[in-house]
Amino acid sequence: MAKKSIEILVGGFVLLGLAALLFLALKAANLATFGEREAYTLQARFDNIGGLKPRAPVRSAGVTVGRVTSITLDPKTYQGLVVFQVFQGVQFPRDSSAKILTSGLLGDQYLGIEPGAEDAMLAAGATITQTQSAVVLENLIGQFLFSRAADAGGGTGNGNGGGAPAAKP
């Protein structure tokens, strides 16, 4: 009898551990939102959305104030159209700007909202017009390498093509 009760306790403990792991996996992957909040929809257009994904957080001053709902290509402007929701009770001025930012050096990307100074607030369905596209690490590295190659190729005018002084005869 004692062996059966121990087996039941161990089985319950294993099930509880699996449920905890499932909960952590869903929270880490941003797939489960527990305690859904009322929100209103806004949108913004970007030349390059980088690695921004649906369900990415929308943050202002480091605080999560919403979620990205969809990302599509605008067939008229050929820009990325990001539709996102902002939690009810959080209002932004009409002249606010949206940026695609990265958490840490190589972290996930999120949508950052920088509030403006205007008195009128964005209404549901409004479009944020002041945007800054994602910084793509590959483009930065390419620009750095190109500028270094241009510097090395420019020389110092002494005929040896490098930055070292010419040898004395």
pLDDT at res. 75:
93
pLDDT band at 31 (very low <50, low <70, confident <90, very high): low
Tokens of 106: 């190589």
Tell whether the model's pLDDT for residue 163 goes beyond 60. no
Mean pLDDT of all residues in 83-95: 94
pTM, to two decimals? 0.66
β-strands 80-87, 130-132: how paired? unpaired
pLDDT band at 168 (very low <50, low <70, confident <90, very high): low
Q: Tell which residue, 123, 152, 108, has the closest CA to residue 43.
A: 123
To the nearest whole number, what is the mean pLDDT of the chain?
A: 85
Do the beta carbons of residue 51 and residue 71 sit within 8 Å? no
